[in-house]
Chain A
Amino acid sequence: MHTAKEKLFYDAVVVGGGIAGVEAAINIGNNNLKVLLIEKDLTLGGKMILLSKVFPTLDCGACITTPKLSEVARHPNVTIFTYSEVKNINKQDKNYFKINVTKKARYVEESNCTGCQLCEDACPVVVPDQYQYGMVGRKAAYIPFNIASPRIASIDIDSCTLCGACEKACPTSCIDFTQKDEDYEVVAKTVVMATGFELFNPNKIPRLSFESKNVITSMEMERLLAPTRPYNHVIRPSDGKAPDRLAYVLCTGSRDLTVGNPMCSQICCMYSIKQAQLLMGALPMADVTIYYIDIRSFGKGFEEFYEQAKGMGVNFVKGKIGKITENEEGNLILRYEDINTGKLKEVEHDLVVLSVGALAHQEPACLFPEGEWKKDIYNFAYQKDLFYTPSLSSIEGVFLAGTTSGPMDIPDAILSAGAASMEAIRYLKQASLEL
């Protein structure tokens, strides 16, 4: 049951509220243009807000993300829709796009919620917390994490037992089980796509035994190390023991034609080196080994960062892990060829981190009428004229921000969002379109 469609008008719509989308929305809003920022998740911040620190500066990821999030949240020219799904984007004629958006019901009155978390305390239902990759539980009435933006509760209606405990606990009576999904028809002159990337699912490579408890992804390790971490310590999942011998398996799902992704994900070498350095602090007695094909420390300060990790005692071994087998203690035997000696080796580790690669997001192509959204051979957005600007998509008036067009690190994503917003503003001014 949907309420009648409401019609909204904006100069620009930004799809995706990760770091690139937020950056683009701020830039466009700063130029006195009206922006609608649409995010499918409960909170802005995308993948970056989940990170521990950023390379190569080791700045706190959250401390860079959150000021930008509060800036966009307070921006007079930017409207934010979180927990909202873009259904489709249709170009009506040369001048404007019609975008159908569904704002999903949170069952919480957004404007009245103070984020006091009393509903969370009252809720008796515990389910795995998706923001902590299932490592801990959360309630059915919950705030994603402390630095979420907006920091308001919502009710996971699929897990909710409708016991009404939260309703009674809420001091502002903002819980409303009668809330419905709301459909909007948005008319906008330009669209910035900042839909980001997907992480590779290691289950596609059964040899790496991702089903073993002590084989985790780099994103899970990122959570273990982040300020909003699930535990106050780095522990391994099977028995809660602090790991002694950690292994990083680089190029999991990148540079690998057997999983259909020949491309380098550009971030894995550096985030693994960063995590290794953080682990040296978190687990001073642990050995950390990074198994690599090539270390690609190509950016400014990257090589120094790599050398710093070596200096701190991180082991770097040239050789791709071919097989991982679990033994009775839950430890993992990693089989690889040490390329420098040419010897086949089998080494035991007690926690293995798969440095998963960045894959194209499947969604953008589904939003546009068939055939309009062109992809490159890697399924990322097709960039129409790379030597003119990286921001042009195959559709005039639709611009590309961040990892929509390919894997990149955070500074590059912000740079890309800057370029996309600049192109969008130029497009708006040049056409001086009137609705």
Chain B
Amino acid sequence: MAKTDLKFGKKLKKYGAIDFNACYNCGTCTAVCDLANKDVSFPRNMVRASVLGTSEDVKSSLKPWLCYYCGECTTFCPQEAKPGELMMSLRRYLTSRYDWTGLSGVFYRNTVAYIIGFLLIIAGVLGLYFSNIFDQEEMMHYGHYFEMFAIAGVFAFILLPNIIRMWKYTVWDTVKFFNIKVYFGSLKELLVHMFTQKRTLSCGTERENKVWWIQHLVLVIGYMSLLVITVFLDWFSTDYMVVNLAGYLVSFFIFAITFLFIIKRVKKKDEKTTFSHPSDWFFVIWLFFMGFSAFLVRIFVDLDILENNFWMYLFHIIILVQWALIIVPFGKWTHFLYRSFAMYFDDIVTKANK
């Protein structure tokens, strides 16, 4: 017997869902979806589950992650129930269900929490600077250490447990299946989707979607490269010409593409960018500032004016800490992991069912 959560619909509205109660179950959304197939069909059944409030069905489903939001379901929905936006909201909802700390949910539901978090970090960083415990050089030195520890810590204590929870809900609780061979064999899916997002290519018929895929891919690669260049190759203090130039290049890609994405969200020309949740705005804007401020910091270093303009580095480190402690573990960043793990888990579930 399915349990019904009568307040589920109201909850989802806080995650950005709109109008999904208008659905009259015609299945047009599923029929026009290029990613739905004979074995896995969505989004209509997800809309149905949301209307009925069978939140456990949603919790154990990977379908929201299988949707790459071309928006055609929303375009063609005869009831204007916006199934595409519901799928987006379900991804936010699932992110908060996977998160053992519960902070994702708090941030997603209350923009105020985000802002308080951001302000606390600003206060912390500036407090640390103005208390004169560290001089500028030490500040940059420990800033660099922070990056390493933040990455390791967030991954070990937040993201890894959350992925295990995701696995429990979607694989273990549904098919109770464990087979090393299969788990190892399916790893290919994880890597391929993590580094190519190739599903986007078959999502939607509009040429725009292909362009979007290229931009997104460049952004992902740029982001990961910047991570390597700043954290492991220590871009801000490196003397290697190649590393330095590569740093400029990837940070430029990041802020240029995020700038495009921000413009798209402002213009609202396609379904994907029409409904922006605060978390979407924070994600693109912070990523933009990350790239842009890193770019400027290194210019300041090269021009030898950073010492007198240390505010630039402070700005960069504030953005970075906010990014690493709020947006990465509890915000939209996680879609990078959940999307690729969903493909991995889905492959395992399919094999288990066979």
- A residues near B (Cβ < 8 Å) are 207, 251, 255-258, 293-294, 319-323, 335-339, 342-346
Contact = CB atoms under 8 A, between A and B. Distances in A.
Contacts of B28: 320, 322
B24 A293 contact: yes
B37 to A, nearest CB: 6
B220 interface: no
Interface stretch (B3-11, B74-82, B128-136): B74-82
B215 interface: no
B32 A322 contact: yes
B30 interface: yes
B38 A207 contact: no
Contact of B44 (A207, A257, A337): A337
Q: Which 10 A-B pairs have the closest CB atoms?
A: A322-B31, A337-B27, A320-B26, A337-B30, A256-B78, A344-B41, A322-B32, A293-B26, A319-B27, A336-B31
A203 to B, nearest CB: 16
Contacts of A319: 26-27, 31
Among A207, A258, A337, A342, max chain B CB count under 10 A is at A337
Give the interface SS of chain A, mostly helix, strand, loop or mixed.
strand
Interface residues on B, range: 20 to 34
Interface string B9-37: 00000000000000011111111100011
Contacts of B77: 257-258
6 contacts: A207-B32, A322-B28, A337-B30, A337-B31, A344-B31, A344-B37
Interface in B60-100: 75-80
A258 B41 contact: no
A342 B26 contact: no
Given A293-B24, A293-B25, A337-B41, A344 B30 contact: yes
Give the interface SS of chain B, mostly helix, strand, loop or mixed.
loop
A248 to B, nearest CB: 15
Among A257, A320, A336, max chain B CB count under 10 A is at A320
Among B31, B75, B76, B77, max chain A CB count under 10 A is at B31
B54 interface: no
Contacts of A322: 27-32, 76
Nearest to A322: B31
A322 B27 CA distance: 8
B76 A336 contact: no
Nearest to B40: A344
B333 to A, nearest CB: 32
Interface string B239-281: 0000000000000000000000000000000000000000000
B85 to A, nearest CB: 15
B45 interface: yes
Given A320-B27, A335-B32, 10 more contacts: A207-B76, A255-B24, A258-B80, A320-B28, A337-B36, A338-B27, A339-B25, A343-B41, A344-B36, A344-B38
A62 to B, nearest CB: 35
A268 to B, nearest CB: 14
Nearest to A345: B38
Contacts of A256: 78
Interface in B134-161: none
A321 B31 contact: yes
B76 A258 contact: yes
Nearest to A346: B38
Contacts of B32: 207, 322-323, 335
Among B24, B26, B36, max chain A CB count under 10 A is at B26
B228 to A, nearest CB: 41
Contacts of B41: 337, 342-344
B31 A335 contact: yes
A257 B79 contact: yes
Contacts of B38: 343-346
Nearest to B25: A339
A323 B25 contact: no
Nearest to A205: B76
A320 B45 contact: no
A213 to B, nearest CB: 22
A335 B79 CA distance: 19
Nearest to A336: B31
B76 A320 contact: no
A293 B78 CA distance: 11
Nearest to B45: A342
B42 to A, nearest CB: 9
Contacts of A346: 38
Nearest to B73: A322
Contacts of B31: 319-323, 335-337, 344
Nearest to B22: A257
Contacts of B79: 257
B78 A258 contact: yes
A333 to B, nearest CB: 11
Contacts of B44: 337, 339, 342
Interface in B209-239: none
B27 A339 contact: yes
Nearest to B43: A337
A140 B72 CA distance: 46
Among A251, A257, A322, A346, max chain B CB count under 10 A is at A322
Contacts of A257: 77-80
Contacts of A338: 27
Interface string B170-194: 0000000000000000000000000
Contacts of A251: 26, 78
